[in-house]
Amino acid sequence: MKAFRYTFRQLRRSARAVLITTEITLRQIATDGFIIFGLFIQPLLVAFLGLWMLENKGGDYAIFVVVGSSMTGLWTSILFISGISIMEERWTRTLELLVATPTPLFLIAFGKNLAYVAQWLFSIVFSYTVVSVVFGYPLEIRQPVFFALSLGLIVVSFICFGLIMATFFLVNPELDRWKNGLEYPVYMLSGFLFPIALLPGWTTPFSYLLSPYWAARVLHATSQGTADLREIVLTWGMLILFSILYVTLSLILFRKALYKVRVDATLSQY
Amino acid sequence: MKRLWLNVRLFWQGAVLSYIGMFHWLRPSMYFSSKVVGPIWQVMFFTFLGTYATGEDTADFYIIGNAMQLVGINGIYGVTMSIAGDRYNGTLPYLFASPANRLVMFSGRAVVHIFDGMIGVLIGLAWGVAVLGLDLSQANPAGLLLVILTVAFSTSGLGLLMGSLSLITVNVMLVNNLIYYLMLVLCGVNIPVDRLPAWVQPISSILPLTHGLQAARELVTGQALSHVLPDIGIEIALGLVYGLAGFFVFRWIEMQAKRRATLEAV
């Protein structure tokens, strides 16, 4: 009973740390021009580009484009913002303080990523509203329940993906300089706006290793009403599998990274 | 004569040093990521998207469009940040306090980016030939180079204007990203201008790149240089108009900042 109470108290403290981090991060990014562009304006511009380019495709191309362009915003956010969520603490000289507090850095990173991915949900609603209400494109989500449940899984999966990115950037600051070259490859490999069948066959296994691919696949299928039970089970299963994998890996990487930067005395180096 | 020499030195040193400072040449990975690796992915992404929309025989349209649009990396981001950087790095008050010729100093910020922007387009076209099968056998190389130069010039003109405006906004990257993406949408890079909504087309015609891109596509299909001279002329005129507008905004901001004592406000 005592152990149970202790565990419950610990869980409550962890949840509180995560939620406070999320709240503060949401407040910080609400006026950040770079994030506003990445999550709201860029997906909208990509959506219009896609809508005008794919208008001859017929069928449900409009909802396909809106979902795909929203996914581009999410990936851009994960790459450019989640990746540097720990690095930016380095730049503002607060990383040492965070590492020294009893709250695990992993939880802080989790809270920050929760804020970024939560803001992405607003961006989907924003894109949907502008494209459908302001510009009058017919947008219908054919399997709304599965779509909403998929969104929930995707939120978790991308938070976990963001944690992995944060550790990579923490251990290797050089990676920060290469991120400009990582944006479009994932757009392509994940099939956000065109099927991956258009790419050379040898790239397909790389797509299967990316959770954004499974996220885009299930959102496209549920929005267009083509998701049967087998497809749902497969895509959700892969999203859950990747989430577990990413969390486990990131926990190990966080521990190793923090040990390494202390031993090498590079905690503040960038 | 001495004054002329001083201005030439100011122009050259300002041009080279602002460029070196921007790309952090002690670590060239930033340059390769932004200028060599990243651009090919953009060209590939939009080429695949375009051919998915309109068929494989239209690939050249997207390859040329997106390769030419790469001038925006230098013209928009590079030139703007070379001016905005002075504000963020705290060197703007020193520049405003110096007796240096403002026009020489201001225009110098763009010059290396014009040539580096040309290199960016050539890299994009080379990737297009090597990876995506772009056919340049009918192209007039000298004419194409001239068009690329004029597009780099006109885009840098817009970059100078954006750079001046960046001195009065804290969201420089928001403005840069917006302009870069609007060029993708409005300049005929991925959608022919005549297929855009009618109310958008006049905006396209006064943006840099639109006319140069039209000229480049015609030159690649074997048209003579004389045929595209009007488009080249319009690109040059647009570059001059944007660049001069940028200079006057820069001077106005300098006067206002001095008058209101807001030089170091960030």
Q: What pLDDT score was predicted for residue B26? A: 55
Test mutation, A29, A37, A174, A176, chain B, max B CBs within 10 A: A37
**Distance between CA atoms of residues A254 and A105, nearest Å:** 8
From chain A, the residues in CB contact with B49 under 8 A are 50, 53-54, 193-194
| Contact criterion met (CB < 8 Å) for B171 and A33 | yes
| Over residues A234-244, mean pLDDT | 96
ipTM of the complex: 0.86
pLDDT at B25 over 60: no
Q: Is B88 within 8 Å of chain A by CB?
A: no
Q: CB pairs below 8 Å between A and B: how many?
A: 87
Under DSSP, the state recorded for B188 is S
From chain B, the residues in CB contact with A46 under 8 A are 181
Q: Which has the higher per-residue pLDDT, A226 or A3?
A: A226
Which amino acid belongs to residue A161? F
| Over residues B96-121, mean pLDDT | 86
**Distance between CA atoms of residues A269 and A155, nearest Å:** 31
pLDDT at A105 over 70: yes
Q: Which has the higher per-residue pLDDT, A22 or B83?
A: A22
| Over residues A25-44, mean pLDDT | 87
Q: Which has the higher per-residue pLDDT, B145 or B255?
A: B145
pLDDT at A60 over 80: no
Query: For helices B210-220 and B225-260, what crossing angle results, to 10°?
Result: 160
Q: Which of A54, A178, A188 sits opposite B29 (nearest CB)?
A: A178
Candidate from A45-54, B180-189, B204-213 with smallest mean pLDDT: A45-54
pLDDT at A2 over 70: no
pLDDT at B256 over 70: yes
pLDDT per residue over A69-80, tens digit each? 999 988 988 888
Q: How many residues appear in chain A?
A: 270
Q: What pLDDT score was predicted for residue B248? A: 93
Q: How many residues appear in chain B?
A: 266
From chain B, the residues in CB contact with A181 under 8 A are 33-34, 37-38, 41
Q: What pLDDT score was predicted for residue A168? A: 83
SS3 for chain A, per residue? Answer: CHHHHHHHHHHHHHHHHHHHHHHHHHHHHCCCHHHHHHHHHHHHHHHHHHHHHCHHHCCCHHHHHHHHHHHHHHHHHHHHHHCCCCHHHHHCCCHHHHHHCCCCHHHHHHHHHHHHHHHHHHHHHHHHHHHHHHCCCCCCCCCHHHHHHHHHHHHHHHHHHHHHHHHHHHHCHHHHHHHHHHHHHHHHHCCCCCCHHHCCHHHHHHHHCCHHHHHHHHHHHHHHCCCCHHHHHHHHHHHHHHHHHHHHHHHHHHHHHHHHHHHCCCCCCC
Q: What pLDDT score was predicted for residue B215? A: 96
How sure is the predictor about B24, in pLDDT bands with cuts at 50, 70 and 90?
A: low
**Distance between CA atoms of residues B37 and B20, nearest Å:** 19
CA distances from A22 to A13, A28, A161, B40, B175 (A): 14, 10, 17, 36, 27
| Over residues B207-226, mean pLDDT | 95
| Over residues B36-46, mean pLDDT | 88
Q: What pLDDT score was predicted for residue A6? A: 67
Which amino acid belongs to residue A246? Y
pLDDT per residue over A130-141, tens digit each? 888 877 888 888
From chain A, the residues in CB contact with B190 under 8 A are 49, 53
pLDDT at A258 over 80: yes
Q: Chain B residue closest to A47 (CA)? A: B185
From chain A, the residues in CB contact with B27 under 8 A are 174, 177
Q: What pLDDT score was predicted for residue B101? A: 83
Q: What pLDDT score was predicted for residue A211? A: 93
pLDDT at A28 over 90: no
Count the neighbouring beta carbons within 10 Å of the beta carbon of residue A91: 11
Alpha-carbon distance A38 to nearest alpha carbon in chain B (angstroms): 9
pLDDT per residue over B229-241, tens digit each? 999 999 999 999 9
Q: What pLDDT score was predicted for residue A85? A: 80
Q: Chain B residue closest to A181 (CA)? A: B38
Q: Chain B residue closest to A32 (CA)? A: B171
Alpha-carbon distance B30 to nearest alpha carbon in chain A (angstroms): 5
Nearest by Cα to A269 from A136, A179, A173, A143 = A173
| Furthest-apart CA atoms within chain B: distance in Å | 61
